[in-house]
Amino acid sequence: MHGGPTSKNRHVGDLGNLLADPFGSSYMCMTDKLISLYGEYSVIGRSVVVHAQEDDLGKTDHPDSSKTGNSGARVACGVIGLSKEFKTVAPFSE
């Protein structure tokens, strides 16, 4: 069952929505109760996908809501990894 980060029933990877600026840049920092960077539930080596539309968090009657959040096409993806270098990025404002 698809949901949001605070939903009782959700996929582990249901991390909610992020906002992009007019140039397509985005910044997101979050803590999640189901995933971790280390241990049995580590996301290292797993993928992350950004969709084109806002995720409805499984709350609508659309046929795709309970599977994908009706969030549209996949527009970006990557593999989660660790870096020796960490750059602090200031979030943009609306």
Q: What is the pLDDT of residues 16-32, one digit of tens each?
A: 898 888 888 888 888 88
CATH class of segment(s) 1-79: mainly beta
> Environment class of residue 13 by beta-carbon count within 10 Å: exposed (0-12), middle (13-18) or buried (19+)?
middle
Tell if the pTM clears 0.75, that is, is over it. Answer: no
Q: Which of 23, 15, 22 is nearest to 51 (CA)?
A: 15
The DSSP secondary-structure symbol of 57 reads T
- The domain spans of the chain are 1-79
List the beta bridge partners of residue 50.
Answer: 76
Q: Which of 61, 91, 81, 68 is nearest to 13 (CA)?
A: 68
Dump strand ranges (E) for 1-94: 47-51, 74-79
Band of residue 83 on the pLDDT scale cut at 50, 70, 90: confident
